[in-house]
Chain A
Amino acid sequence: MNSEINTSKKPASILGVREYKSLLSWLSSVDHKQLGIMYITTSLMFFLAGVSMAMVMRTQLIKPNHHWLSPETYNQVFTMHGTTMVFLAIMPMLTGFMVYFTPLMIGARDVSFPRMNALSYWLYLMGGILIYFSFFTGDTLHAGWSAYAPLTSVNYSMNKYLVGTGVDYWIVGLLLTGAGTIMAAINILVTVADLRPPDMKLTRIPLFVWMSSINAVLMLLALPALNAALVMLFMDRHLNALFFNPAAGGNPLLWEHSFWFFGHPEVYILILPGFGIVSEVIPVFSRKPIFGYAFMAAATVAIGFLSFGVWAHHMFATGMNFTVYYVFALSTVLIAVPTGIKIFNWIATMWGGSISFDTAMLFCIAFIIQFTIGGLSGVVFATVPVDWALTHSYFVVAHFHYTLLGGTLFTVMAGFYYWYPKITGRMLSEKLGKIQFWLMVFGFNGTFFILHFAGLAGMPRRVFTYPDLPHLATINLISSLFAYVLGLGILIFFANLVISLFKGKPAEDNPWGGWTLEWATSSPPPPHNFDRIPPVRSIRPLWDLEQSEKQPGAVAPPSQKGESA
């Protein structure tokens, strides 16, 4: 439909693009599309590692008083599972999508700072490798991804039963990846500010670009807080600083405040691009525009602001004074409101539409329901006295897996099924996709819904085993069995990714009938992205073009050379 716009010769798939054939072209790339693919591929490798760790954890927890893994090993596994998933798998996967699609969706040729883009990726890879290197020293961090001081701030490297040098690899690795993230954030923001075509006002950019931009602001302002916390921790460990040393007047709560000041915006960093993906997919597969575009954008800005004002809700059980708790309880319940706005707007987008159940859309539908559950269990925690009962238990584990797995991961899957054709020039198998989808829905909900009850039954988190108390054995057995189902679904996803690259049906420019600018070029796009871009009169340039083709003369012809100064 739109192939007249793009006059470059279309390669059969990404494997056939001449500029991407050599390894050197990848290692030295400053092309945002190659870098986006590198981000996504690397994060998929770390994701696989994180999933394997999860399977190991659920196997260890399959029955009470199980001594298959030692506490040391289990503690390292759960720590690295969290660290991997947050820092090395999900955040970079989302960054990869942002880096790949933001320029395309605004009709640009690349990001504003292509070399800095490359540096961000390599810092991520190096940091990740450094963190994983700690496995070779036999002394990986084993204090949880939140690494509370003073457990981690005293350098007990001589006593391997306490916390050893693994912390240091973790600290330095995260400082590296954090630097990369801040640079990526700067890049995204400057790109969106600077490289839009003149007619693409901010009220006409796709919601994915809105969410990516706000996300970039969060990354910009939250990661430095982590860096400050890591620096203080490193100094306590190696320069005998006293930040978290209670005997000298230091306060372990300073770590908690610093870490969570970063940590809470971090979890919004982990979901906002996903919100963006869903805001693109649902309209296309419902064949109508997103409902309430302005409110969606405004709600996201509100979430961005509020996300910096809720951090102490992770500390309700630390014995601080009630005034502090009132403030944070209020901000926490408030942040539920803009999130709720989004849920209703997505449903309203489907309403009156013509919904087709391609895999990408299936993942969005499941996401809406699962993320609602996750958000609501979050509201449970905002009720402070209930938090006193349920924090640090499996109820929390259930809550954040509903938002991060049932939420973010499902949006990522939607993103893959929607955009894989654009990136690679091949369609993913819908058949495998649907099998994967149902395995994941059953597997995920089966694993985690029941863990709410484990928390209510008194099971704390971060334990390598648990006593044979009422219900715990049954709950954990069911959870572990469903975890294997979830794992199988994820394996099928990987199989689909690989097989489709070689055997997938070749993809047209716009296989889904999308309306944003990435669909106005070939699949995959040529290295320079666009020969021309259509005029941008609304949030759906290709819809407008289609309408004008039905009524010629109603809209001006495509502009020459899509780049702006």
Chain B
Amino acid sequence: MDTFTSVLKPVTKEGFDILSSFYIVLGVAAFIFVIVAALVVYAVIRFRRRKGREAKQFSENLWLEVLWISIPLLIVAGLFIVTVRTMSEVNPPVLGNKPDLTVVAHQWWWELHYPQSGVTAANEIHLPVGKHLLLRFESADVIHGFWVPSFGQKIDVIPGHPNYIWLTITRPGLYLGTCSSFCGMGHAHMRLRVFAQSPEDFNAWLAHQRQPVSPPSAVGATKGVGVFMEKNCVNCHSIAGLMTRGRAAPDLTHVGSRTTLAAGTLPNTPENLAKWLKNPQSVKKGVRMPDTGLKTDQIKYLTAYLEGLK
């Protein structure tokens, strides 16, 4: 699967619009820079101190001043027009539209809700390509930022102040992103993975997510359920089909099918999950999950259970 992370390689219609504006302003900037640099280089060579040549004592010229006031004014007016046009193309008003995905940012993970289908998930986002999607952002605590560079724009996620962006993803793939507003100790480990899929694949994923899990059959996994309940994990983490109580931590209903753990911090393997369960702080310092004091065999059973939640 292709992975993209760069602003220069957009995969959304909005990202392409932004990139065009970028190239325009970059072009203008390069043009001005070349002029300034050339003038400076020429001046220091041509007018360096030499015997027999005195400095000419001129120090004003009204027309030159008018020239280098009016030309920049025209240039910046042009840039302003580009700005206004692109802004409304990229982010038209929300009006009464309902979001396709609501993202609630927490220190340091992403809570996901698909309002139209009632699916709740965490950290790894799936979206269909080819549709004009509306995403809504809320924060549960401090200011965060949602940024997938190849999507073009980012948006700050501010508590008490929901924000929206529009996205039209043009090709399937895995797009990586990150929290873009400093939000505390775990900021560098609050990453985003967005799986853009064809509408059919996306609907299949949603349907699967909608299903609650069934009780496990394997022995280790069954014991894992016991550990999960005994250790009160459910006070923070919900598992649809088992018990949904806590919302303070990522929903774990289909955690086994995610590609990473801890908001993109670790690849999702049994070894990594065990490492996490043993000591979350050593993986992602500052995380709200306390050291649960799990013993080795408890970790084994819990891992077996959680990895089975596909």
Contact = CB atoms under 8 A, between A and B. Distances in A.
Direct A–B touching in the complex (beta carbon < 8 Å)? yes
B160 A251 contact: yes
Contact of A385 (B8, B18, B37, B57): B18
Contacts of A293: 59-60
A336 B180 contact: no
A72 B285 contact: yes
Contacts of A357: 44, 48
B50 A354 contact: yes
Contacts of A291: 58-61
Contact of A246 (B24, B43, B161, B285): B161
Given A252-B161, A253-B161, A352-B56, A383 B83 contact: yes
B186 A385 contact: no
Interface residues of B, number: 89
A385 to B, nearest CB: 4
A252 B157 CA distance: 11
Interface stretch (B125-133, B145-153, B251-259): B145-153
Interface in B57-103: 57-61, 64-65, 68-69, 72-73, 76-77, 79-80, 82-84, 86-88, 90-91
A350 B43 contact: yes
A151 interface: yes
B74 to A, nearest CB: 10
Contact of B22 (A295, A325, A347, A386): A386
Interface stretch (B26-34, B207-215, B291-299, B302-310): B26-34
Interface string B146-172: 010110111110111101100000000
Contacts of A317: 145, 153-156
Contacts, number: 282
A151 B182 contact: yes
B60 A294 contact: yes
B55 A352 contact: yes
Contacts of B40: 347, 350, 365, 368-369
Contact of A392 (B50, B86, B147, B188): B147
A460 B164 contact: no
A390 interface: yes
Interface stretch (A22-30, A131-139, A338-346): A338-346
Nearest to A144: B182
Contacts of A470: 5-6
Nearest to A317: B156
A294 B69 CA distance: 14
Contact of A287 (B55, B88, B180): B55
Q: Which of B8, B61, B90, B149 has the most chain A CB atoms closer than 10 A to its own CB?
A: B149
A442 interface: no
B59 A458 contact: no
Task: Report which residue of A72, A143, A289, A354 has the largest number of chain B beta carbons within 10 angstroms of its beta carbon.
Answer: A354
A460 B179 contact: yes
Given A151-B142, A151-B183, 15 more contacts: A75-B182, A144-B182, A246-B160, A286-B47, A291-B58, A292-B61, A329-B83, A347-B39, A354-B50, A383-B22, A385-B17, A392-B180, A456-B6, A467-B191, A469-B5
30 contacts: A71-B185, A72-B285, A144-B182, A151-B183, A289-B59, A290-B59, A291-B61, A292-B61, A317-B145, A322-B87, A322-B88, A337-B76, A340-B32, A341-B68, A348-B64, A354-B48, A365-B40, A372-B32, A372-B33, A379-B28, A379-B29, A380-B25, A384-B86, A385-B21, A389-B18, A389-B154, A392-B154, A457-B8, A457-B149, A460-B147
Interface of A: 70-72, 75, 142-144, 148, 150-151, 161-163, 246-247, 249-253, 286-295, 317-319, 322, 325-326, 329-330, 333-334, 336-337, 340-341, 343-345, 347-357, 365, 368-369, 372-373, 376-377, 379-380, 382-386, 388-393, 455-458, 460-467, 469-470
